[in-house]
């Protein structure tokens, strides 16, 4: 088991290294540069050349990549080119805000999705199962920004139940913060609940066709007892995997939601960095998102192995 965990961790580290190279290359090919964005259109070529030299943008890309990677491994993500602030100090409170939003949505989405998926599996073919499938399919079909704007239109603009902008401050009380962040949390909940619901239902129903499940029915056990006691533990591995993937999406996929609601998280910080052509900020945000995604996937692999001993042995 220890060897398997070490293997997963090594794969995660290698994946992060590969993603770091992709992030650096992707930011390098962005049109324009920070020097032009900061100095404006009236800057002369000489001024641009001097400013780019001060920022180190005139050095070869591979040298800047290895310097950035070496510093990142030491916990130093550099400084923002636009305001010369330390990125780690700036991104830390924004990452806390993103984790708060993701955790808020997860606390609603995970129990709701797993519970509804189990109920749909117990009532396969009945109206509640069909209704869950229709609602989940509709939620998957709509883009996230559309759902966000619909919620803003009705719950903020027309009914005045929630604020349009989800701006939070460090001195906010927990209750006030939960109220302000309610709309983006509900938007994320609607997006990830559908995927987890459908996977939970499919995983449980796939186990229901196994011979030992049929034997349990032949013994006269109720369908709900068969699902909870016999089917659900064996269907836990794929459910855990899809939950981890959706939790990763709650962290990584908040860019659009944070931008729509002007929420001060890492996603909004990344969009601002792209707008200003601030490459270190964009690279740091991308690396944070990639790290969160890889870590959650590694945890999902380990948990899936723990709940299903058959996965510990090579086939």
Catalogue all structural domains in the chain, each as residue range(s) with its CATH number: 2-73 (no CATH), 93-312 (1.10.3720.10)
Instruction: Measure the CA–CA gap between 305 and 314, rounded to whole angstroms.
Output: 12
Going from the C-alpha of 188 to that of each of 69, 176, 222, the distances in angstroms are 32, 19, 35
Question: Is pLDDT of 166 > 70?
Answer: yes
pLDDT bin (cut points 50, 70, 90) of residue 310 is low
Residue, of 237 and 255, whose pLDDT is higher: 255
Q: Flag whether pLDDT at 314 surpasses 60.
A: no
d(CA 193, CA 136): 8
pTM of the model: 0.85
- Residue 79's DSSP bridge partners are 86
**Reduced to 3 DSSP states, what percent helix, strand and coil does the chain have, rounded to the nearest 5?**
75, 0, 20
Distances (CA, A) of 30 to 35, 99, 136, 256, 283: 13, 28, 36, 19, 12
CA 225: distance to chain centroid? 34
* C-alpha to C-alpha distance for 140 and 183, rounded to whole angstroms: 18
Give the C-alpha separation, 147 to 143, whole Å: 7
Lowest mean pLDDT among 106-120, 131-145, 181-195: 131-145
Examine the pLDDT at 37 and tell me if it is beyond 70.
no
User: Which among 279, 291, 289, 265 is positioned nearest to 90, based on CA atoms?
Assistant: 265
Tokens of residue 58, six digits: 């005139």
Q: Cα separation of 248 and 15, whole Å?
A: 15
């Amino acid at each position: 088991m220890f060897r398997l965990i070490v293997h997963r961790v090594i794969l995660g580290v290698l994946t992060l290294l590969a993603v770091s190279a992709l992030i650096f290359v992707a930011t390098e090919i962005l049109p324009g540069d920070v020097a032009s964005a900061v100095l404006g259109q009236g800057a002369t070529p000489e001024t641009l050349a001097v400013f780019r030299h001060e920022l180190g943008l005139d050095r070869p890309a591979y040298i800047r990549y290895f310097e950035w990677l070496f510093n990142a491994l030491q916990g130093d993500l550099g400084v923002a080119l636009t305001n010369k602030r330390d990125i780690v100090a700036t991104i830390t409170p924004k990452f806390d805000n993103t984790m708060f939003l993701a955790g808020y949505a997860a606390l609603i989405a995970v129990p709701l999705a797993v519970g509804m998926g189990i109920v749909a599996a117990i009532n396969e073919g009945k109206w509640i199962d069909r209704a869950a499938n229709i609602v989940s399919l509709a939620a998957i079909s709509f883009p996230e920004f559309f759902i966000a704007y619909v919620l803003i239109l009705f719950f903020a603009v027309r009914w005045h139940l929630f604020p349009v902008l989800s701006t939070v401050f460090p001195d906010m009380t927990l209750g006030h913060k939960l109220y302000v962040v309610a709309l983006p949390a509900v938007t994320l909940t609607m997006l990830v609940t559908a995927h987890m619901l459908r996977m939970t239902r499919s995983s449980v129903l796939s186990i229901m066709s196994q011979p030992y499940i049929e034997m349990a029915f032949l013994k006269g056990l109720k369908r709900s007892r068969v699902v909870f006691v016999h089917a659900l533990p064996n269907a836990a591995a794929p459910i855990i995997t899809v939950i981890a993937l959706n939790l990763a999406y709650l962290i990584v996929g908040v860019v659009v939601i944070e931008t729509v609601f002007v929420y001060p998280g890492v996603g909004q910080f990344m969009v601002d960095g792209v707008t200003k052509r601030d490459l270190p900020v964009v690279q740091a945000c991308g690396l944070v998102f990639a790290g969160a995604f890889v870590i959650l996937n590694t945890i999902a692999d380990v948990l899936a192995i723990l709940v299903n001993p058959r996965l510990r042995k090579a086939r």
